[in-house]
């Protein structure tokens, strides 16, 4: 239950969320593994993208990252000590299929088998993400997500993962945030592979949507008792004013950022009514594609960090809308210049609960980056602690109001490589000194550990 303290603040306990509520942490292969060219692993689009000057903050790269590949036991044991029972990680496509398809790299398969086995040995349930943005460069050289052949490439990759790991891994996520890897990577060019324009963006959207369903169908056929999901980035969109042009702009942004991938998955087709430019995607749709985009997922993962305030803009092509930066609105922000706005996660839970056909919703990412400072071998990250507690209160409020939500995964376990921002933003419950690779559990991590321990003791 929710309890009010003497200061009238709402206090939450993990047991309030129910005995079957899933608590965990999320990570991604390129962001933590390192070992970028060892034991048969080939180059991914991120391995290449980080090498071009100006792409990444201060020239950072993920070649070493958190050295998870070299010493995964260290972090899994630390996870166990923090009472974390569910670990979401991704498979590096290039580590198991260096050429994208064809010959299997047995050393890569062996590595993930060891990770999975050690998780189970430690009482931790593995949740595997199949695609978390690290496409083999050899496939990108053939067009990557813009090439319809990726439907075959991706099916081949998923079949390998299902057959080699599916006897022990029962919880799966097909894609991580397709709107982000297509938008940032194939339209804006700020993420790997650095492509720009509608000519890249639209086919990438469609092929990712089809692959999302293909992945689900392969897992359903190959893995007994599989629990299959996929994940979507989402942000509450608020119009800058009540003016019709700002409301219209906000609706367009909501269509692009929150509706584009979930609706075709549910059989609703692409949401072209509010964003006419999406009609151009029809040139890439072949017979039976609309049917083949649909898959009955066991759960949908939503990943929310903030809200966006949107106003009309004549200068922004296609969308005619622009986001007003949080720093210009005099609000509390994270190091990513994202507004700290806890009601956003409630709003997103409500939005996705409004769709018919979604069986279960899990928050598969939520967290914040702040300027963490190490003093006397401690990291007292009170802003992150406040952030996590306030967002969790909104998740609990959603439950109380009858909205369905079945789990919560913190982004992320340890500080890691944060894509274009490099190592500057730290999201972890655990601090990493990247020169020594030493781990320090932050104040937020200690709180989460105690939060989960109390839950276990009550069950």
- At 331-381, the pLDDT tens digits run 999 999 999 999 999 999 999 999 999 999 999 999 999 999 999 999 999
- pLDDT tens, residue by residue, 149-205: 999 999 999 999 999 999 999 999 999 999 999 999 999 999 999 999 999 999 999
Instruction: Give the pLDDT band of residue 454 (cuts 50, 70, 90).
Output: confident
> Locate tokens 């260290």: which residue?
74
Averaged pLDDT, 234-239: 98
- pLDDT attached to residue 4: 38
With DSSP H G I counted as helix, E B as strand and the rest as coil, what are the percentages for the chain, rounded to 5?
40, 20, 40
Active-site residue (options: 33, 43, 339, 365):
365
Task: Report which of residues 126 and 274 the model is more confident about.
Answer: 126
Q: What mean pLDDT is predicted for residues 5-33? A: 84
Is 43 among the residues known to form the active site?
Answer: no
Q: What percent of the chain has pLDDT over 90?
A: 96
* Strands 10-11 and 3-4, bridge-based pairing: antiparallel
Whether residue 366 contacts residue 345, with contact meaning beta carbons closer than 8 Å, is answered with yes
pLDDT one-digit tens code per residue, 196-227: 999 999 999 999 999 999 999 999 999 999 99
pLDDT for residue 11: 75
Report d(CA 154, CA 161) in Å as an integer: 11
pLDDT tens-digit readout, 376-429: 999 999 999 999 999 999 999 999 999 999 999 999 999 999 999 999 999 999
Categorise residue 133: left if φ over 0, alpha if ψ from -120 to 50, beta otherwise: left
Check whether 8 has a pLDDT greater than 80.
Answer: no
Q: Do 36 and 69 contact (CB within 8 A), yes or no?
A: no
CATH annotation of 21-458:
3.20.20.80
Please list, residue by residue across 146-172, b when 16 or more beta carbons sit within 10 angstroms of its beta carbon and e when fewer do: bbeebbebbbebbbbbbebbbeebbbb
Which residues neighbour 390 within 8 Å (Cβ) at sequence distance 6 or greater?
Answer: 340, 342
Residue 456's pLDDT band (cuts 50, 70, 90): low
Contact (CB, 8 A) for 367 and 427: yes
Q: What is the pLDDT of residue 25?
A: 99
Task: Indicate which residue of 177, 308, 339, 418 is catalytic.
Answer: 177
**394 included as an active-site residue:** no
Locate all alpha helices (DSSP H) within 223-342, ordered by sequence. 244-254, 262-265, 289-292
For the chain, the average pLDDT equals: 96
pLDDT tens digit string along 101-121? 999 999 999 999 999 999 999
Query: What's the confidence (pLDDT) of residue 265?
Result: 98
Residue 458 reports pLDDT greater than 70? no
How far apart CA 276 and CA 417 sit, in angstroms, is 36
């Amino acid at each position: 239950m929710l309890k009010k303290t003497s200061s009238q603040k709402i206090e939450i306990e993990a047991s309030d969320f129910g005995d079957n509520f899933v608590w965990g942490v999320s990570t991604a292969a390129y962001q933590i593994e390192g070992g970028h060219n060892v034991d048969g692993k080939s180059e991914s689009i991120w391995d290449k993208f980080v090498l071009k000057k100006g792409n990444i903050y201060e020239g950072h790269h993920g070649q070493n990252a958190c050295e998870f590949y070299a010493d995964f036991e260290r972090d899994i044991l630390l996870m166990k000590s923090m009472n974390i029972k569910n670990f979401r990680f991704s498979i590096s496509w290039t580590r198991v299929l260096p050429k994208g398809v064809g010959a299997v790299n047995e050393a890569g398969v062996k590595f993930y088998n060891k990770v999975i086995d050690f998780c189970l040995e430690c009482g931790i349930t593995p949740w595997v993400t199949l695609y978390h943005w690290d496409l083999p460069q050899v496939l990108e050289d053939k067009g990557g997500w813009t090439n319809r052949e990726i439907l075959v490439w991706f099916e081949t990759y998923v079949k390998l993962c299902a057959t080699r790991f599916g006897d022990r891994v029962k919880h799966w996520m097909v894609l991580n945030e397709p709107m982000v890897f297509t938008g940032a990577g194939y339209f804006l060019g700020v993420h790997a592979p650095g492509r720009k324009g509608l000519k890249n963006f639209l086919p990438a959207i469609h092929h990712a949507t089809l692959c999302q369903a293909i992945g689900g169908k392969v897992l359903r056929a190959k893995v007994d008792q599989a629990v299959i999901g996929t994940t979507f980035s989402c942000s509450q969109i608020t119009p800058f004013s009540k003016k019709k042009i700002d409301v219209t702009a906000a609706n367009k942004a909501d269509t692009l950022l929150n509706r584009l991938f979930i609706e075709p998955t549910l059989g609703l087709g692409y949401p072209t009514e509010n964003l006419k430019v999406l009609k151009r995607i029809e040139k890439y749709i072949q017979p039976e594609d609309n049917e083949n985009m649909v898959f009955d997922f066991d759960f949908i993962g939503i990943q929310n960090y903030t809200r966006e305030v949107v106003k009309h803009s004549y200068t922004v092509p296609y969308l005619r809308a622009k986001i007003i930066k949080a720093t210009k609105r005099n609000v509390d922000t994270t190091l990513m210049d994202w507004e700290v706005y806890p009601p956003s996660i409630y709003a997103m839970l409500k939005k996705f609960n409004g769709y018919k056909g979604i069986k279960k919703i899990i928050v598969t990412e939520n967290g914040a980056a702040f300027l963490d400072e190490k003093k006397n071998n401690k990291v007292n990250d009170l802003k992150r602690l406040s952030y996590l507690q306030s967002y969790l209160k909104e998740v609990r409020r959603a439950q109380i109001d009858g909205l369905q939500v079945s789990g919560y995964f913190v982004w992320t376990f340890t500080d890691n490589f944060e894509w274009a921002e490099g190592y500057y933003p730290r999201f972890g419950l655990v601090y990493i000194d990247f020169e020594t690779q030493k781990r320090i559990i932050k104040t937020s991590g200690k709180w989460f550990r105690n939060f989960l321990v109390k839950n276990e003791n009550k069950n």
